[in-house]
Amino acid sequence: MSADQHIDNLIAAYALDCLDEDEMIWVSRHLADCARCRAELSAYQQVVDQLPLAVQQRQPPSDLKGKLMEQVNRKDTDTGQESQDFWHRFRGFLRQTAPVWSLASLVVIVLLVASNLILWQQMRGISGQSRADTMRVVALDHTQVAPGATGLIVMSLDGEHGTLVVDHLPRLSEENQYQLWLINNGERDSGGVFSVSKEGYGSVWVNSAQPLADYSAFGVTIEPAGGSPGPTGEKVLGGNL
Amino acid sequence: MDYANLEDEALIRLIANDRSEALSVLYDRYSRLVFSLAFNSVGDMDAAEEITQDVFLRVWKNAHSYRAEKAQVNTWISSITRYRAIDFLRKRSSRLHFKSLSWDDLSPNSVSIEAANPEERTERSLAAQRVRLAVGGLPDEQKQALALAYFFGLTHSEIAEYLEEPLGTIKTRIRLGMQKLRKAFNEDRRSEK
């Protein structure tokens, strides 16, 4: 769909997050290139933002705040006084050396922007990684195990949730399924197990313990049916956030 | 420092710097909203309590990732609550037992809002009354479709299947409902000026 063909009949549902996956991907891609539809979306997003106000107000249990604050303060204590002292010293060091860091940061930012621009230019046209104002779409690249396969993770505005959509992945035997891995600091959490249709199409709601935006990379491997505690099979797709 | 008079964004900045007093004030300000929204989705007091606690723990852990240019604090917190409740329903696989709580009391008089100052409190209470009037004015079938999408996270086709209605009918109900709300909110804004 080109930016000339607008999607007025789908934007309200997109703002409400009730589109089915194929339409959601379609709209996400259109929004990345269409300022007019992004403005429409923004107007409907304001409607959605107001809806919680229509809910009948209820008072939470009176002891809930105490439980919350106890948990918060316990977690604080668990981090330990030692590490707190370390961070205070570290912050002091950063403050003292702020001018040097500022200059270094500026150089790094310029380099990052330049490299991102080059990458963006390379990726554009093959719909690699695009981004609308409200959704983030992360492209997954295929490995040699699944040439021609494509994958996208569409993330919500707040980075809390997402859906993985794949296409042209080889169909597996009944003993195996694909498994999505969410990667952060070398740790891999399972994001869901799925199979694909005979055309190689599949999708899965990404189920994660922490917001998706907190992860740095994603991968898809072939695992025994039902999934594994950690990746054991060959990797077919991967990408970085 | 008198945290109670601070604006929401200032509280979030303090929370990002591990000031639990700021979280305590934010809780006082938004716990009713979070709990009510969660209860509307899951229809269960214990689950709503669990979700409320989890939402504020997420705010505590993720305050550094809040971006004021993307959303207001109340919108951010509402969004976390909505998706956390939908997650809960998905995990419990109980979405097919929806209780008809969604918009059950849309009386404009039953609004009570906490805020940093009396002006903001009044403004938010009025906004809530307007939203209730607007939603209350929608035809029942549009309200129902919007509720299934908003509170329970159902897609067009899931709503169509649940209500045993054609997909096109559901798409139209959602679109018309949203258009009417948008128009009502715009008229409210114009009349304020």
**Going residue by residue through chain B (193 aa), what tens digit of pLDDT does each one get?**
788 889 999 999 999 999 999 999 999 999 999 999 999 888 889 999 999 999 999 999 889 888 888 889 999 999 999 999 988 888 776 555 555 446 665 555 555 566 667 777 777 778 888 888 999 999 999 999 999 999 988 999 999 999 999 999 999 999 999 999 999 988 876 666 5
Alpha-carbon dihedral sign for residues A212, A214, A218, A223:
negative
Distance CA B96, CA B154 (A): 10
B29 touches chain A (CB under 8 A): no
B27 touches chain A (CB under 8 A): yes
Out of B49, B72, B82, name the one closest to residue A60 (CB).
B49
Q: What is the ipTM of this complex?
A: 0.88
Out of A48, A68, A161, name the one closest to residue B53 (CB).
A68
Which residue in chain A has the smallest CA separation from B104? A56
CB pairs under 8 A between A and B: 165
B167 touches chain A (CB under 8 A): no
Asked if B111 contacts B127 with a C-beta cutoff of 8 angstroms, the reply is no
The answer to whether residue A38 scores a pLDDT higher than 70 is yes
Question: B interface mutation test: which of A23, A55, A204 has the most B CBs within 10 A?
Answer: A55
| Residue B2 pLDDT | 84
More confident site: B49 or A135: B49
Q: Which B residues 131-150 touch A at CB under 8 Å? A: 131-132, 134-136, 146, 149-150
B49 touches chain A (CB under 8 A): yes
The answer to whether residue A5 scores a pLDDT higher than 80 is no
In sequence order, the 6+-apart residues with CB closer than 8 A to the CB of A123 are A129, A139
Whether B150 and A16 lie within 8 Å, measured CB to CB: yes
A54 touches chain B (CB under 8 A): yes
A44 touches chain B (CB under 8 A): yes
B5 touches chain A (CB under 8 A): no
Distance CA B29, CA B18 (A): 18
Q: Which A residues 183-222 touch B at CB under 8 Å? A: 205, 207, 211, 213-214
pTM, 2 dp: 0.64
As given in the structure block, the two tokens for residue B117 are 């100052």
Q: What is the band of A82 on the pLDDT scale with cuts at 50, 70, 90? A: very low
Residue from B83, B193, B112, B69 nearest A16 by CA = B83
Whether A49 and B178 lie within 8 Å, measured CB to CB: no
The answer to whether residue A159 scores a pLDDT higher than 70 is yes
Asked if A219 contacts A237 with a C-beta cutoff of 8 angstroms, the reply is yes
Whether B65 and A159 lie within 8 Å, measured CB to CB: yes
| Residue A62 pLDDT | 93
Tens of pLDDT, residues A106-116: 566 556 655 65
Quote the minimal CA–CA distance from B56 to chain A in Å.
8
Q: Where are the alpha helices (DSSP H) in B43-139?
A: 45-62, 73-92, 118-136
Angle of helix A8-16 relative to helix B167-192, nearest 10 degrees, comes to 80
B57 touches chain A (CB under 8 A): yes
* Contact residues, chain B, for A54 at CB < 8 Å: 103, 106, 128, 131-132, 134-136
B172 touches chain A (CB under 8 A): no
Q: Is A42 helix (H, G, I), strand (E, B) or coil?
A: helix
Query: Strands of A217-224's sheet, edge to edge?
Result: A187-194, A176-184, A217-224, A235-240, A136-142, A150-155, A162-167, A202-206
The β-bridge partners of A151 are A140, A166
